[in-house]
Structure 1
């Protein structure tokens, strides 16, 4: 297991370096830069910016430097000082902007993840065991509907239901009187009163996908000879399901479980934007639209790093669950 872990670590390090370069390259792909966007916006409003002042700003932020110079300045500050740079749009450190939204983003992501797994895994197992029976058809229909309905449409529908029947404010995670209020029991209850809408919306598609995967894997295992042998020995059906086919059917789920870690950080961008949530998703979208490269690059880099770390964790979990993985070469 130690050899397998070291082998994976040696793959993670160069992957992170390449990802950081690609992340910085992607945010510079659109033509122009933040200052160009700002000048165009000011001109649309009938204002103008002095060319000398514009050039001074380019020099100040290093926008005119070559790509590799900008990248090295950016990544070295992150690695050595934990400094993600200054947001052009907000004129504040990127780490402060992300930190302000991190708590609510993690709460939304973790709650969604727990709900998704709590519903999807049992539903997938029941659907496989009850194949071609009413329970299987009902779960399959609900799963297909969840996959077919766009998240933004479900968000709008649930927001309307919350407003129409429960008197909740539309958008945001807090009512107007609790937006800037200090933390208290009332603010916590108000938060959870608004949290159910984005949690349900984001969990819909993820739940449906896991149900279909779990069902297919379970059906592959339920008809294999070792299950027939266990039944012939007189073992209880529940014990057979839990001890044998379920453990093997969970391998694909375990191998992709770490991929959910980035979603804890960024949440669902479209849903968060539609519902005006104070998470990092709308912040990322706004930074991309304004070409705020340090803010966008910082968020994209964090998401990419979390994806690599999540994949690494999934590999270790799969190797622990299935010995065939770590002894594959032997």
Structure 2
């Protein structure tokens, strides 16, 4: 029986053949040792989540494994589409439990999208699945990571946050997906959640253009003129501290790191390539615009090292830390 705690979080342990189960357990134990006012529940097959009998009672009392059975036994590093239903059941259980108020937030380990699609369920990613399951029209994928003082000239410790207008799309599909409403709604969701959940009084936001040199006045593309700039102006008129569009190669200048609370990129690699270059292993994926709190790791299933005791649990630990802080902020504001 778990003790009462200020924050209760649930972890979906992800693709069973990947590093998800091991980083989930390792990060959970580390985080429980950090925070005495947290209860954690990990969803997954107990055969993948073996708790040491030597675990101190003070930690064991606040950690629960909620069993969800595998469809077929797992070989580390070997994908099996028959276990896709197991992965989705963990996700559904976590989402529903958060919507019902049983947990204050959910943290997800990486999954393998190809396995779920091979099993016959169209699946483009956690972000899109969470939106559909929560019946939310527009959510935003944002990655966040703490940067230390002195890093690239930072005057104080800061969080680098990068949000995306489009997520898991082929690059050729991005221009046609961009609309004024989509860009504007993304800015609004980012500004609202940074204020309400992150506790930032007046978030400062930068928005990238789509084309080289932000279109160079239409010479290199018209998306900036036709949808990105009008969206920025509409957000400014609504009182949001947002500027742009900036060329993608200069948006992340070092001086801006001291003042900007979030950078918004038009497509996946435009935002996440620079983010991961400076933060890999310590980043967190957080879904904005949901009625629940959801954070995740910023890496994949790492099938090549699964089951070998080599997995790095730092990103999962940071995901737990962020979910915890967001839950505290939400309780404070409710």
Is TM more than 0.5 here? no
Counting helix residues as a fraction of each chain, which structure ranks higher? Answer: 1
Question: Structure 2 length as normaliser, TM-score?
Answer: 0.26
Q: TM-score, normalised by structure 1?
A: 0.26
